[in-house]
Amino acid sequence: MNILLVYAHPEPTSLNGSLKEFTVNRLEKSGHRVQVSDLYAMKWKSALDADDFPHRDKTAPFHPSLDSQKAFEQGTQSVDIAKEQKKLLWADALILQFPLWWYSMPAILKGWIDRVYAYGFAYGVGEHSDTHWGDRFGDGVMKGKRAMLLVTVGGWEPHYSARGINGPMDDLLFPIHHGVLWYPGFDVLPPSVIYRTGKMDQKRMAHIQDELGQKLDNLWNIPPIAFRRQNDGDYVIPSLTLSANIMPEQSGFSIHIDA
Amino acid sequence: MNILLVYAHPEPTSLNGSLKEFTVNRLEKSGHRVQVSDLYAMKWKSALDADDFPHRDKTAPFHPSLDSQKAFEQGTQSVDIAKEQKKLLWADALILQFPLWWYSMPAILKGWIDRVYAYGFAYGVGEHSDTHWGDRFGDGVMKGKRAMLLVTVGGWEPHYSARGINGPMDDLLFPIHHGVLWYPGFDVLPPSVIYRTGKMDQKRMAHIQDELGQKLDNLWNIPPIAFRRQNDGDYVIPSLTLSANIMPEQSGFSIHIDA
């Protein structure tokens, strides 16, 4: 299979750098093909702006989504964006690897999402009407592909537990899992989260590699998170609220998983 | 009072541009002093990397937090970072204004957080021991200051309601409200969220400005979100989980608000 690893850490000799090397080697040894988008090494441009659309009508105000739509349709996006989209189409699985900074991804990776996720590619796909709100949340261009987060965290695991002060890790990652990956159609695997990165020794590292390695070996067998499909009847359209008869009285991120 | 508006939209003639102008005018007319960090206009560097610490020991591996700590202590951070920190110290209130892109802030604003929030300034502040886990979540350098999000959203409000498919807006913003603003000590006001930005006309705009104007007039009277203070006994240290006798059996983001 083909795997795209999008990697966002500035230091090659870091724990993240080691985990990236380990991941690539393990996948290649299993016969997979791997491409790495090493965003810092590529000096990836983070800010979505008018320069991303060099052929746009420069007399008109810049409109992020409409300019993205036109350029995507006409094949006139910036070359760096088009290249990453091609990698996504090539991939059977996507891994996003990053250190958790301020409870989310580093800016450079957010900028990869903001720019590569074009209108017509990652959103604005399919019929948009009062009865069908686009091919998204389970449908879309990435349908049939899998995705997984590989996240390192300085803090302790209990701080991110159900009653931990930072909020539960699953909820902190929901906007990425559900909003960035499930939205354009990826099946989303449970994340690999490595806590307390400042306290690493050989024994712990061996254990982490062992766990991660087994997960990578089973990338195509692990059951994805059971997010609800937008277009299978669970949601009222166009309000896009969960039908009153499903998990009645409940609310929040968790109701969008069919437990 | 002094207000810092950090603004992240690439097009000055956009709805966001108008709301920024409106906000600055309204605050100045009330006699406040306003500084605007217009990140796109400043060509703000988004990616935290070794270049942010020009005096670091270049023979050692780059370590984001330790290099940040040293440079902050020694006053050798990159000039653009130090300038924004000075603005934060000057401000009595901070407004972060941005369009919601992929359920979070644009990369350029995330990069402002990643880089300006130095070790010793926004984190790593105060005693760190098994009985006191730093001055954070209600304490910290920003204590006594207020902060508010001003967010524009393309989608419909029901899509972000308690049972909406995107997840509730309050939960999507929790990592910013609690993790980015409350963490270094800001009192966090309820956000101003403007939905369905593609459907704007004069009448709606007048209504939005009226509401926003009243909010800005009352910036010092509005009760902040009642996030729990880390160091007032609600949390068990060092696990930093909510004490078993507070909202027992409950979990998730909402338990960190003293309702």
Q: What are residue A135's phi and psi, to 5 degrees?
A: -90, 95
In the block, residue with structure tokens 């359920």: B103
What pLDDT does A80 receive? Answer: 98
What one-letter code names the amino acid at B106? Answer: P
CA distance B91 to A40: 33
Mean pLDDT of chain B: 97
Q: Which residues of A touch B63 (CB under 8 A)?
A: 11, 14
CB B135 within 8 A of CB A127: no
Are A252 and B252 inside 8 Å of each other by CB? Answer: yes
**Nearest to residue B42, comparing CAs of B87, B8, B91, B1?**
B8
**What pTM was computed for the model?**
0.98
Nearest-CB residue to B114 (from A102, A114, A165): A102
**Nearest to residue B10, comparing CAs of A154, A147, A48, A52?**
A48
ipTM above 0.95, yes or no: yes
* Residue A150 confidence class, pLDDT cut points 50, 70, 90: very high
In terms of residues, how long is chain B? 259
Strands B235-236 and B241-242, sheet pairing: antiparallel
CA distance A206 to A211: 9
Write out pLDDT tens, residues B21-77.
999 999 999 999 999 999 999 999 999 999 999 999 999 999 999 999 999 999 999
Nearest-CA distance B217 → chain A (Å): 30
Buried b (16+ CB within 10 A) or exposed e, B242-252: beeeebeeebb
CA distance B229 to B138: 5
What one-letter code names the amino acid at A122? Answer: A
Write out pLDDT tens, residues A181-223.
999 999 999 999 999 999 999 999 999 999 999 999 999 999 9
What pLDDT does A113 receive? Answer: 98
Nearest-CB residue to A235 (from B165, B178, B238): B165
CB B44 within 8 A of CB B113: no
Q: Return the SS3 of A106.
A: coil
Are B179 and A163 inside 8 Å of each other by CB? Answer: no
What pLDDT does A181 receive? Answer: 98
